[in-house]
Structure 1
Amino acid sequence: MVIDIDASRATIEQRTGTERYSREVIAALDRLAPPQISLRLYINGGRERLPPLSSRVVIRDVRLPRLWTHLRLGPTSWLARPHVLFVPAHVVPLLHPPTVVTIHDVGYRVFPAAHTARRRLELELTTYWSVRAARHVLTISHATKRDLVAWYGVDPQRITVTHLGVSAGFAPPADPQAIAEVRMRYGIHRRPYVLYIGTVQPRKNLVRVIDALARTLTAGYDLDLVIAGKQGWLSEPIVRRAAELGITHHVHFTGYVADADLPALLAGAQAFVFPSLYEGFGMPVLEAMACGTPVITSTMSSLPEVAGDAALLVDPLDTDAIAWAIMRLCGDENLRTDLRWRGLARVRQFTWEECARRTLEVLTAV
């Protein structure tokens, strides 16, 4: 059996959740697939950024600057006649062999203000096409599955949920000095801090997080907020909000943080704050738990499904609730310890091996 895989997302240098998923699930499929299954990866350059793979994996670098999915991936795979094509991120090529696609979220439906009108139309059309063109659809949460059934009329029998895992590097640092070094490197060593990691964009609810920090400071807590991630669409009002409140010396925008620095950055935080308005899964929540960091997250979309009873859940539209959760965690060492242990236990339920096993079941069935 031959499985073709769109590996283009796995070669992206600055990885966010979708790219991390592509990279990890490909590596886990390579580890788990039996010898009679061949894996053939298609990339658009960046071969050196693929994960370590076995010698049985064939890599085809078919480059094209634009429209790569439709003009390179689709025709090349179709001519190669695999048993199935696996697309880990959203878009099925117009010309394709039997295909399985992963739809991560439909956030543009829930929070349209986070996208331009052109981008919303593009996402709408590609999702509508992909869920109809694919033989089977994977989603990374039950929340996204419900969205596809409700908004796109997809038969729930054609959707399989494959929860994501936690990458091996996310764990409490063995050397406490690593935390001190990362704090010095990013200039966040002066005060205790709460941390957000992810793209800086409106649906991440960061304006309310900054407002909540201001209320926490007014209540007498001497804290910083560290916002780690590259700036996305409509990030300017988020950056500007700290200046409007006069707390710029308490809010640090680090930009994109390399994977190697994330565990120490997480482990050094008083709390990880992630009250997003919408998430297809919310991988940073699990990564924070894996590093022993107490988590504050949202009651919306997939986040309760991921966090379980191992985090403080807050209404993301209630700034006072976010501020209260920050103050409660920073002021209660027993609560921090309890959530730390709950989080470490919770993440053991999410592995890339299980994600890949369920994915492989679907691919072989198709």
Structure 2
Amino acid sequence: MLLGIDASRALRPASQRTGTELYSRQLIEALLRLAPTRPAPPSLRLYTDVAPDQTTRQAWAGADWRIIPSPRLWTHARLSLEMLRRPPDVLFVPAHVLPLWRPRRTLVTIHDLGYLFFPQAHPLRQRLYLDLTTRWHGRVATHILADSHATAHDLTRRLGVDARRISVVYPGFTPTMQRPADPSLLQRTAAAYGLSAPYFFYVGTLQPRKNLVRVAQAFAHLLTRWAAERPDAAPPQLVLAGKPGWLSDQVLAPIRGLGLGDQVRILGYVPQTDLPALLSGAAALVFPSLYEGFGFPILEAQACGVPVLTSSTSSCPEVAGAGALLVDPHDTDAIAAGLWRLLTEPALAQSLIAHGQHNLRRFRWEIAAQQVFDILQL
């Protein structure tokens, strides 16, 4: 049996990866590891628009590569032509779009319907494209993977997809996102970025859907309360890490307008090598997003032994389990109160950390790969 996989998103440079690229890369690696152990080991063929670097080629030694360069229309022209000439038995698209011409059996992952819930967070052209391709997947894909039950519910409720054609397969968490063994690395990394404890940490794209303006407003309330109740203690910082996204000016300008100075640090893109130490040194991850199809930062914080504050909506409670303090993402006062509790109630923070560590057992890439093979009956 030949399983073809669109690996184009998996080979994006690290600085361009978001959750979907991470998902694609990690799941492909797990599928390659697991394939030889299956009762009838399938062959895996990876389709890409660029050649993999030597490290990836060596790590993915079991893959049969099909490198198809194309400056434009790679999926619907070049990949479609490849499907017409040399189709695999099954085509899996983990983080992109099904080609117009495809084999009879297809599997596609739909990560979220954020464009429907927050259309203002997407350019019009992108929103129309997402709507067209997502609805098309809902009609033509043999089977659909959803990252969470929340997304699966959205697919049936908002797009009318038959629930029997949807399987929920939880992603894993990034293996390298672990608390550093050397505690001094936390202080050195924080100092390199000009941070001082305690600090709250956010990591992700800087865009309106992530609710960062309310986070900053809640943090301003926290600083006022801190100055009144703990005048002798060093005030906390709010640290935002991630590359700017669509409408980032609508996020950054209001935050800077609060006049909080160095108490709010906007780091921009942070290399993956620095993230474990920065996250591990935080008082908490603050992630009250307005909508998430999954929410990788929640698991990354739990893996680093950090308490989490996240939303009580969309997939966030499902992913976080008992390892997070849930708040209404539309309620600035609730966010501020949650931040205060995480700073001033060490028993609560430790409880969330312990529950978070236990929660991670549900999220393993090997489990996800096993489920994918089972769904495909490979």
TM-score higher than 0.5 here?
yes
Q: What does residue 290 of structure 2 align with?
A: 277
Q: What does residue 208 of structure 1 align with?
A: 214
1:349 CA displacement: 1.6
**TM-score, normalised via structure 2 length:** 0.93
Q: What does residue 189 of structure 2 align with?
A: 182
Q: Structure 1 pair 338/60, CA: closer, same or farther in 2 (3 Å)?
A: same
**Which residue of 342, 349, 355 corresponds with 2:368?**
355
Residues 318-357 of structure 1 correspond to what in structure 2 (within 5 A)?
Answer: 318-357=331-370
Q: Structure 1 pair 51/337, CA: closer, same or farther in 2 (3 Å)?
A: farther
1:46 CA displacement: 4.7
**Which residue of 78, 93, 100 corresponds with 1:94?**
100
Q: Match of 2:144, SS? A: strand
Q: Match of 1:169, SS? A: coil
Answer yes or no: is the 8 Å Cα contact 1:10–1:50 preserved in 2: no
Counterpart amino acid of residue 239 in structure 2: V
Q: What does residue 172 of structure 2 align with?
A: 165
**Which residue of 66, 70, 74 corresponds with 1:64?**
70
Counterpart amino acid of residue 47 in structure 1: P
Answer yes or no: is the 8 Å Cα contact 2:307–2:324 preserved in 1: yes
Residues 113-152 of structure 1 correspond to what in structure 2 (within 5 A)?
Answer: 113-152=120-159
Q: Match of 1:264, SS? A: helix
1:74 CA displacement: 2.3
Deviations 1:201-249 (A, max 9, x none): 0010000000011000000161111111000011112111232111132
Q: What does residue 231 of structure 2 align with?
A: none
Q: Structure 1 pair 225/46, CA: closer, same or farther in 2 (3 Å)?
A: farther
**TM-score, normalised via structure 1 length:** 0.96
Answer yes or no: is the 8 Å Cα contact 1:242–1:248 preserved in 2: no
Q: What does residue 229 of structure 1 align with?
A: 242
1:95 CA displacement: 0.8
1:155 CA displacement: 0.5
1:364 CA displacement: 2.9
Answer yes or no: is the 8 Å Cα contact 1:12–1:46 preserved in 2: no
The answer for unaligned runs of 5 or more in structure 1 is none
Answer yes or no: is the 8 Å Cα contact 1:88–1:101 preserved in 2: yes
Q: What does residue 303 of structure 1 align with?
A: 316
The answer for unaligned runs of 5 or more in structure 2 is 228-234
Deviations 1:171-213 (A, max 9, x none): 2110012112221222213x42100010000010000000011
1:274 CA displacement: 0.3
Residues 22-37 of structure 1 correspond to what in structure 2 (within 5 A)?
Answer: 22-33=24-35, 34=38, 36-37=41-42
Aligned length: 364
1:54 CA displacement: 4.5
Distance, in Å, in 2 between the alignment partners of 1:268 and 1:55 is 36
Q: Match of 2:333, SS? A: helix
1:268 aligns with 2:275: no
Moved more, 76-85 or 263-272: 76-85
Distance, in Å, in 1 between the alignment partners of 2:287 and 2:80 is 37
Query: Runs of at least 4 residues of structure 1 off by over 4 A?
Result: none
Q: What does residue 267 of structure 2 align with?
A: 254
Counterpart amino acid of residue 131 in structure 2: E
Counterpart amino acid of residue 314 in structure 1: V
1:90 CA displacement: 4.0
Answer yes or no: is the 8 Å Cα contact 1:30–1:53 preserved in 2: no
Answer yes or no: is the 8 Å Cα contact 2:87–2:102 preserved in 1: no
Counterpart amino acid of residue 26 in structure 1: I
Q: Structure 1 pair 81/327, CA: closer, same or farther in 2 (3 Å)?
A: same
1:91 CA displacement: 1.2
Answer yes or no: is the 8 Å Cα contact 1:227–1:254 preserved in 2: yes
Answer yes or no: is the 8 Å Cα contact 2:29–2:60 preserved in 1: no
Distance, in Å, in 1 between the alignment partners of 2:18 and 2:256 is 27
**Which residue of 20, 43, 46 corresponds with 2:48?**
43
Q: Match of 1:259, SS? A: coil
Percent of paired sites with the same residue:
50
Q: Match of 1:325, SS? A: helix
**Which residue of 194, 200, 203 corresponds with 1:197?**
203
1:25 CA displacement: 0.4
Q: What does residue 300 of structure 2 align with?
A: 287
Deviations 1:246-283 (A, max 9, x none): 11321111111122111111100000000000000011
Distance, in Å, in 2 between the alignment partners of 1:63 and 1:248 is 47
Q: What does residue 110 of structure 1 align with?
A: 117
Q: Structure 1 pair 51/78, CA: closer, same or farther in 2 (3 Å)?
A: same
Q: Match of 1:81, SS? A: coil
Counterpart amino acid of residue 215 in structure 2: V
